[in-house]
Chain A
Amino acid sequence: MDATIITNIFGEFSAMAPMIIMIIGALLMPALYFTTKKRGVVGGALVAFILVSLAVNVILLLGGYVGTYAGLFQYDAFSGLMILLFQIVAFLVALVCTSSIEVTRLHYGAFASLLLGATTGMMFVATATDLVVIFVGVELTSISSYVLVAMKRNDPRAAEAAVKYVIIGGMSTALTIYGLSMLYGVTGTTNLAEIAVSLSTAGFSWAFGIAMITMIAGYGFKIAAVPFHMWAPDVYEGAPTPVSIFLATGSKKMGLVVFFKIFLIMFVAGASVASFATVEMQYLFAIIAAITMTVGNVVAISQTNIKRMLAYSSIAQAGYILIVMAVMSEYALTGGIFHMFTHVFMKGGAFLIVGALICAGIGEKITDYRGLAKRAPFLAFAMLLFLFSLAGIPPLAGFTSKFVLFSAAIYGGDGATSQWVWLAFIAILNSAISLYYYARVVKAMYIEKGTATDKIKVPKAFLAAIVICVAAVIVLGVFPQIILGPASEAAAALFSLV
């Protein structure tokens, strides 16, 4: 496909074309709701804007477009693919939020506007080549999400979740800006590539150490990496389910992209001239990854609320993806990107089912899911697929992406087995643990008998979104080539940024 269709229209702003469309949408939504007062119209416009932006992005991506703007943004294979990921998340959320009973009717225009705004922030992070842009993008997303969580005003759980989220988020912002300023002090620049070059000749300094710690802590909150994970289950539980989907699959991925952008570029792309702290950082990340996946999985076992269980399992999944940060190879990044995509569909799908069932009056307790296979055969089967995919059972997408990701920990690039075999071992053991709590839900749905027997009806929009996720989980499992090819190009693009 030729990218000139887009570049002719957007000219020198082509690198930001998908975001520009989203911003226009974000500005129009409140006005649209004010004039029409109809949720359906705003919902339709919301989906339309996301789809247009998605189309523009796909054309740019397939056209192999590479462009920069003002030395702050760069659109390449990596940013394009990540933008696509965020757009898919936004699309799934936008598709269902109109028909979800959890989303407020009062300020629907604001809701739609904030959703687009938050997505735009993520997309900016994906294209950023400068620390300042990363910071602004993350803040745009965070502030929008605080409001999204708090929108269910009358529900005390939502209010509690929002307050927790704001306080923790504020602290993480303070930490990151402190770290960024320290890093600026050490290197004298905020451009990622220049930082990498400058660090390759620098020696260790306390300022640098503090910068690293505060930045890992600050962005660790976004990923919900252990020990910065406490907020995630409360927030996911309290927020309206569509917003939980957005946070678990989108916002978390943004944190990971920040990690990839800052640390991979700083330590690996620049390491052609040997960076001094690479090995220490690798071990630090390996330990964080191991603890994150273990804590996530072990705590998930004792959960009785399905949203909390999914939240903890989401923490564990982030732990798996953090393997990329320990191995720091291009191949590992390919696996990481692949797993991020499959995670969107399987975790997003599972949350979608929870949201759909809430609309049908089913509670959030695992015990509420008893006998679901009789009452809603399709939903139960879809849930089964998502959970088995999360547990890594072939031939579903979760297995294939874990396979690539874990193999990256064993296959250390060029040569024999790498030093991260133990990490792969822990990850595989964790997969085994996770099967236990996923199987509990399956057992409740298929084997235990429920009290009610009437058929469940859920909104059509939810069904459509779930069907998309089911198709993706199966297709990506059997034909992983679809995403593996672009993912390896994206990884190569990120590594060649310096």
Chain B
Amino acid sequence: MFDLPEIPYLLTLLIVIPLIGAIVSLAMGGEKQKHAKTVAIAFSAVTLVLAVYLMLSNDYSVYTENYSWIETAGLKMSYILTVDGLSILMVFLTALLLFVVSIFSAHETDKPNYFFALLLAMEVGLMGVYMAGDYFLFYIMWEVTLIPMYFMISWFGGPRRHYAAIKFFIYTHVASLVMLIGIFALAFQAAQGGLVDFSFEAVLAGSGAFGETFQMLVFGLLFFGFAVKMPIVPFHTWLPDAHTEAPTAGSVLLAGVMLKMGSYGIIRVCLEALPQGAQQWQTIMFVVAIVAILYGAYACIAQKDLKKMVAFSSISHMGMVMLGIACLSDVGVEFAIFQMFAHGLVTAVLFMTCGMAGHNFGTREIPLLGGMAGKVPVYAAFMMFGFMASLGLPGLVGFWGEFGVIFAFYEYAYSIDMIWLIVFCLMSLMLTAGYYLWAMQRTLFGRLTDRIDTTHVHDVNKAEGIAMGIMCLMIAVFGLWPDLALSLISQYSTGLFGVI
């Protein structure tokens, strides 16, 4: 966008600054621990500024960093960091959410130094995943995100946190091991008996050696690894547990940027390196996407816990991302990426409102609530705004993602003469609007509930207000001016499928 002067080692800084922040925060034990939040806010703010600076720069290619890391007779792994139209928004989203949840969690009083250290450690891994240009580094960073999240849930989570944390850990770890096998297969096949170079570039350069059967098999391995993270039905069962038990900040990051690692991986690895495999799996991708969208939406209707409902809505919305990817067209992928970004912004607001419900009202059970709008007007406004953005109200960011994906899907359905398929998408829109409005009606409107003691209920405090305000502003800005994001994405997606 602008011709900004180059900052040396900018991408490494995006990883190192949170890392230093995590260590500093961890070191603030005893009396100093109440200042841990200041540390977290400061370090994440610096990271955010750098990420925005990067996003506004004209040419990212100057920022590519490439150093040889491990070199043996047969293997080569490098430390490669790079950004493009696909990763830049994810980097921005990670930095933004980290900053916002640091502000939001300012009232965290139980072991705050550990809490904020874990948050920043997560940022290290997430930044690494989105910027890695080498499979080895990618895998390492992928696993690095896992451990802080495990501790985040098991230390700061709800009553069933131990079960949820270990389930999350083992489920996603097994998936990433399957993914590792896929990565091995890619790298070794691409090398053709020569030097096995794990960089994305080298694998792409050798992708001519990927036969049809190979593409189908390896696509399956990698797709499984990424689909569990996304998560795609039927591999989603860890998600509701993890979300329900995780603290608010953990949920925001989990839904906002961690699930995106799955869809990012599918686009970055599966689509780029295995285009034929993608063709062979296209039908299955459509089926799982539509099942995820509808199953997620139906499950939302049945939920009594507000947070669990939002968790299932994530499954539904990530299904929308999958649907866009499955179209295997430029438009489909473009809006799938936009949907990833949009869902990241919106879901943050949703989980924050859920967190506040638990914190300020003492319960998240929808049937116990009612008529809260009169009691906590500011909270009600934020919640309505979030729900509206999530159900795709035009003018807000959620609309563009769904609109684009459905458009791409229509285009595809038209090309194979099966326009009736579009009914599923319309159903999902209806269901989404339905469960959100119903939930809103039951919690916010009507007569003030007498099932809980409402005398101590208090409205949004300053830190929460600032955090939610920033997110709502972003939702409105990108909703009214989607081209701000789309112009970046289209640099990546245009021509992606020109060669198939």
Take A407-B75, A407-B188, A414-B193 as given contacts and tell me if A447 and B173 are in contact as well, using a CB distance cutoff of 8 Å.
no
CA distance A66 to B448 in the complex (A): 88
B180 near A428 with CB under 8 A, answer yes
> B151 touching A388 by the CB < 8 A rule?
no
Knowing A410-B184, A411-B188, the reply to whether A446 touches B177 (Cβ < 8 A) is: no
Complex interface: stretch among B162-170, B269-277, B356-364, B416-424: B162-170
Q: Tell me if A488 is interfacial: C-beta within 8 Å of chain B.
A: yes
B140 partner residues in chain A, CB cutoff 8 A: 394-395, 399
Contact assessment for B143 and A394 in the assembled complex, using a CB-CB cutoff below 8 Å: yes
Q: Is the CB of A431 within 8 A of B185?
A: no
Q: Is A331 an interface residue (CB 8 A)?
A: yes
User: Which residues of B from 49 to 72 have beta carbons under 8 Å from A?
Assistant: 70-72
**Chain A contacts for B151, CB-based, 8 A:** 446
Are A443 and B185 also in contact (CB < 8 A) when A394-B143, A414-B193, A488-B72 are?
no
Task: For the complex, give the distance between the alpha carbons of A411 and B189 in Å.
Answer: 9
B-chain residues with CB within 8 Å of residue A488 when the two chains form the complex: 72-73
Per-residue CB contact flags for chain A residues 97-132 toward chain B (1 = under 8 Å, else 0) read 000000000000000000000000000000000000
Minimum C-beta distance from B379 to chain A (A): 32
Question: Are the CB atoms of A417 and B70 closer together than 8 Å?
Answer: no
**Is A282 in the interface zone, CB < 8 Å from B?**
no
Q: Is the CB of B177 within 8 A of A388?
A: no
Q: Is the CB of B73 within 8 A of A331?
A: yes
Pair B181/A428 contact, Cβ less than 8 Å: yes
| CB-defined contacts of B144 to chain A, threshold 8 Å | 394-395
- Find out whether the CB atom of B193 lies under 8 angstroms from the CB atom of A429: no
Asked if B74 and A432 make an inter-chain contact with CB atoms under 8 angstroms apart, the answer reads no
By the criterion CB–CB under 8 Å, are A481 and B70 in contact? yes
Q: Which residues of A contact B136 (CB under 8 A)?
A: 403
Does residue B155 face the partner (Cβ distance < 8 Å to A)?
yes
Tell me whether B246 is interfacial, beta carbon within 8 Å.
Answer: no
B139 within 8 A of A: yes
- Contact A446 B181, beta carbon cutoff 8 Å: no
Question: Is B174 on the interface with A (CB-CB < 8 A)?
Answer: yes
Per-residue CB proximity of A296-314 to B under 8 Å, as 1/0?
0000000000000000000
Q: Mark A464-498, 1 if CB is under 8 A from B, else 0.
A: 00000000000000001100110010000000000
How close is B168's CB to chain A, nearest CB, in angstroms?
Answer: 11
- Is A212's beta carbon under 8 Å from chain B? no
Contact A439 B166, CB 8 Å, known A407-B188, A410-B188, A447-B154: yes
CA distance A415 to B143 in the complex (A): 30
A406 to B, closest residue via Cβ: B184
- Which chain B residues lie closer than 8 Å to A394 at the CB level? 139-140, 143-144
Q: Which residues of A are found within 8 Å of B146, using beta-carbon distances?
A: 393
In the complex, the answer to whether B70 meets A447 with C-beta atoms within 8 Å is no
Chain B residues with Cβ under 8 A from A425's Cβ?
A: 181
Is the C-beta of A436 less than 8 angstroms from some C-beta in chain B? Answer: yes
Task: Give residues 412-445 of A contacting B (CB, 8 Å).
Answer: 414-417, 424-425, 428-429, 431-432, 435-436, 439, 443
Chain B contacts for A406, CB-based, 8 A: 184
- By a CB distance below 8 angstroms, the chain B residues around A424 are 181, 184
B147 at the interface (CB under 8 A from A): yes
How far is A344 from B151 in the complex, measured between Cα atoms in Å?
Answer: 27
A429 touches B70 (CB 8 A): no
- A244: chain B residues within 8 A (beta carbon): none
Chain B residues with Cβ below 8 Å from A334 are 72-73
For the complex, give the distance between the alpha carbons of A436 and B144 in Å: 17
**CB of B467 closer than 8 Å to a CB of A:** no
Q: For the complex, what is the distance from the CA of A467 to the CA of B184, rounded to whole Å?
A: 33
How many A residues face the partner with a CB closer than 8 A? 35
The distance from the CB of A403 to the nearest CB of chain B, in whole angstroms, is 8
Q: How far is the CA of A488 from the CA of B73 in the complex (A)?
A: 8
Decide yes or no: A407 and B184 within 8 Å by CB, A414-B193, A447-B154, A480-B70 being known contacts: yes
What separation, in Å, do the CA atoms of A393 and B155 have in the docked complex? 20
Contact across chains for B184 and A435 when beta carbons are under 8 A apart? no
Interface string of B366-395 (1 = CB under 8 A from A): 000000000000000000000000000000
Name which residue of chain A comes closest to B154, CB basis. Answer: A447
Flag if A331 contacts B181 (CB, 8 Å): no
User: Would you call B293 an interface residue if the criterion is a C-beta within 8 Å of the partner chain's C-beta atoms?
Assistant: no
A443 touches B154 (CB 8 A): yes
| In the complex, A404 has a CB within 8 A of chain B | yes
Q: Is B14 an interface residue (CB 8 A)?
A: no
CB distance from B115 to the nearest CB of A (A): 14
Question: B203 in the interface, Cβ–Cβ < 8 Å?
Answer: no
Which secondary structure characterizes the binding site on chain B? helix
Cα A432 to Cα B225 in complex, Å, equals 13
Complexed CA–CA distance, A443 and B73 (Å) = 40
Q: How many interface contacts (CB-CB < 8 Å) are there between A and B? A: 78
Contact partners of B155 in chain A: CB under 8 A: 446-447
With A394-B139, A394-B143 in contact, do A410 and B185 touch (Cβ < 8 Å)?
A: yes
B residues near A447, Cβ cutoff 8 Å:
154-155, 162, 165
Q: Which residues of A sit under 8 angstroms from B139, Cβ to Cβ?
A: 394
A432 lies within 8 A of B170 (CB): yes
Alpha-carbon separation in the docked complex, A403 to B135 (Å):
12
CA distance A373 to B281 in the complex (A): 47
B122-174 contacts to A, CB under 8 A, are 136, 139-140, 143-144, 146-147, 151, 154-155, 162, 165-166, 169-170, 173-174
Task: Give the Cβ gap from A383 to chain B, nearest Cβ, in Å.
Answer: 14
Interface mask (A359-373 → B, CB under 8 Å = 1, otherwise 0): 000000000000000
B196 within 8 A of A: yes
In the assembled complex, the Cα of A414 lies from the Cα of B75 at a distance in Å of 13
**A436 and B170 contact, CB distance less than 8 A:** yes
B139's closest neighbor in chain A, by CB?
Answer: A394
Q: Are B71 and A435 in contact (CB under 8 A)?
A: no
Q: Which one, A416, A432, A439, A481, contacts B174 given CB within 8 A? A: A432
Q: How far is the CA of A484 from the CA of B193 in the complex (A)?
A: 20
Identity of the chain A residue whose Cβ is nearest the Cβ of B174 in the assembled complex: A432
Contacts of B72 in A (CB 8 A): 334, 404, 484-485, 488
Q: A417 near B185 (CB under 8 angstroms)?
A: yes
Residues of A contacting B74 in the complex (Cβ-Cβ under 8 angstroms): 331, 411
Contact of A411 among B166, B170, B196 (CB under 8 A): B196
What is the chain B residue whose CB lies nearest that of A431?
B177
With a cutoff of 8 Å between Cβ atoms, the chain B residues found around residue A414 in the complex are: 193
What's the Cα separation between A400 and B177 when bound, in Å?
14
Minimum CB–CB distance from B336 to chain A (whole Å) comes to 28
Q: A410-B184, A424-B184 are in contact. Are A404 and B177 (CB under 8 A)?
A: no
User: B142 — nearest CB in chain A belongs to which residue?
Assistant: A394
> Which single residue of chain B is at the shortest CB-CB distance from A435?
B173
- Most chain-A CB neighbours within 10 Å: which of B72, B139, B144, B166? B72
- Measured between beta carbons, the chain B residues less than 8 angstroms from A410 are 184-185, 188
Question: What is the minimal beta-carbon distance from B72 to any residue of chain A, in angstroms?
Answer: 5
| Residues of B contacting A436 in the complex (Cβ-Cβ under 8 angstroms) | 170
Complex CA gap A400/B139 in Å reads 11
Inter-chain contact A439/B162, CB cutoff 8 Å = no
Contact status B193-A416, CB under 8 Å: yes
Q: Which residues of A contact B196 (CB under 8 A)?
A: 407, 411
Check B162–A432 contact: CB distance below 8 A.
no
User: In the bound complex, do residue B170 and residue A481 qualify as a contact, i.e. CB atoms below 8 Å apart?
Assistant: no
Against A, the Cβ 8 Å flags (1 = close, 0 = not) of B6-39 are: 0000000000000000000000000000000000
Between A and B, 25 residue pairs with Cβ closer than 8 Å are A331-B74, A334-B73, A393-B146, A399-B140, A399-B143, A404-B72, A406-B184, A407-B75, A410-B184, A411-B74, A411-B196, A416-B189, A416-B192, A417-B189, A424-B184, A425-B181, A428-B180, A432-B173, A435-B170, A435-B173, A439-B170, A446-B151, A446-B154, A447-B162, A484-B70
Known: A407-B75, A416-B189, A447-B155. 8 other contacts (CB 8 A): A393-B147, A394-B144, A395-B144, A428-B177, A428-B180, A431-B177, A447-B162, A484-B70
Q: Which 10 A-B pairs have the closest CB atoms?
A: A394-B140, A432-B174, A415-B193, A394-B143, A428-B177, A447-B154, A395-B140, A411-B188, A410-B184, A432-B177
Interfacial residues, chain B to chain A (CB-CB below 8 A): 70-75, 136, 139-140, 143-144, 146-147, 151, 154-155, 162, 165-166, 169-170, 173-174, 177-178, 180-181, 184-185, 188-189, 192-193, 196
